A and B are shown apart, each in its own frame.
Chain A
Amino acid sequence: MIQLQFFARYRDVLGRDAEQMPWDAELRTLEDVRARLLARGEAWQVLAEQRLMCARNQELCNLSTPVVDGDEVAFFPPVTGG
């Protein structure tokens, strides 16, 4: 399983803060995970944003970062703290 998390505006648009995605060997990178989500339909296109940020196991990464079974993967809009 991949543990997915969504934050802030993405969570509002997607109507969920987390879900489990079954893992399979074709999920090699975060880009593959995102592609599965984008294929679900209109609301999910929010994840196509140029400035999307992502994290693997609670560390910032990029879409080419590899994923493995059991990972926690998060997608979120640009951060606005401080």
Chain B
Amino acid sequence: MRIDVQTASFDPGELLNQLHADYQGTGAVVGFVGYVRDFNDGDPVSGMWLEHYPGMTEKALADIVEQAQARWLLHEVHVLHRVGQLEPGEPIVFVGVASAHRQAAFEANTFIMDYLKTRAPFWKRESTPQGERWVDAKHSDEQALSRWQSPGESS
């Protein structure tokens, strides 16, 4: 498992190649890259500030990856999340999962992103023509978790 929380940008292609280079038994690598959009909730966005909870952030991400590793047989997982000032078009987040076969890699990647969006302590503040505003959490992100939970479970 590799967890990075950093201000620096990154090259998603390099990260994907690295995930494959580590194990010759890897038959599938699934990568997700999230980018800063130049539009949100009906307004142009000229930039974004990413705040986090140093110390807890890394632990929360590691905990999410451990949960994924308990559900699927994974060769390697890399989660990278940027913090600080970001401009439209820049990558914010990378989740890469290497496994023997594609289904585990696809599912684990989605699982990690669903939990990252609702459980990892990051907050976005975006710059719009009306000024700075904190981005509201989406109910749909919370609902997405239900696909991973058995009936009656809520965490």
Residues of B112-139 at the interface with A, using a CB-CB cut-off of 8 Å, are 113, 116-125, 134-137
Q: In whole angstroms, what is the CA distance A79 to B136 when docked? A: 8
What are the residues of chain A within 8 A of B123 when measuring CB–CB? Answer: 7-9, 76-77, 79-81
Q: With contacts defined as CB atoms under 8 Å apart, how many contacts are there between chain A and chain B in the complex? A: 75
Interface string of B17-51 (1 = CB under 8 A from A): 00000000000000000100000000000000011
A79 CB, nearest partner CB in chain B, Å:
6
The B-contacting residues of A in range 20-62, CB under 8 angstroms, are: 51, 55, 58-60
Interface size class for chain A? 10 to 19
CB distance from A27 to the nearest CB of B (A): 21
Q: Check if A58 sits within 8 Å of B134, measured CB to CB.
A: no
Instruction: Give the contacting residue for B117; candidates A8, A12, A76, A82; CB below 8 A.
Output: A82
CB pair A82–B55 under 8 Å, yes or no, is: no
A81-B55 in contact given A8-B125, A8-B134, A51-B137 (Cβ < 8 Å): no
CB neighbours (8 Å) of A78 from chain B are 118, 136-137, 142
Query: Which residue of the partner chain, among A9, A12, A51, A76, contacts B121 with CB atoms under 8 Å?
Result: A76
Select one of A12, A55, A80 contacting B135, CB under 8 A. A80
- Measured CB to CB, the nearest residue on chain A to B63 is A59
* A12: nearest chain-B partner, CB-CB: B134
Complex-state Cα separation, A74 to B137, whole angstroms: 18
**A interface residue numbers (CB < 8 A to B):** 5, 7-9, 12, 51, 55, 58-60, 74, 76-82
Name B's A-contacting residues (CB within 8 A): 34, 50-53, 55-56, 59-60, 81, 92-93, 113, 116-125, 134-137, 142
In the complex, 18 of the A-B residue pairs with CB atoms within 8 angstroms, ordered by the A residue number, are A7-B51, A7-B53, A8-B123, A8-B125, A55-B56, A58-B59, A74-B56, A77-B134, A78-B137, A79-B121, A79-B122, A80-B123, A80-B136, A81-B52, A81-B116, A81-B117, A81-B121, A82-B92
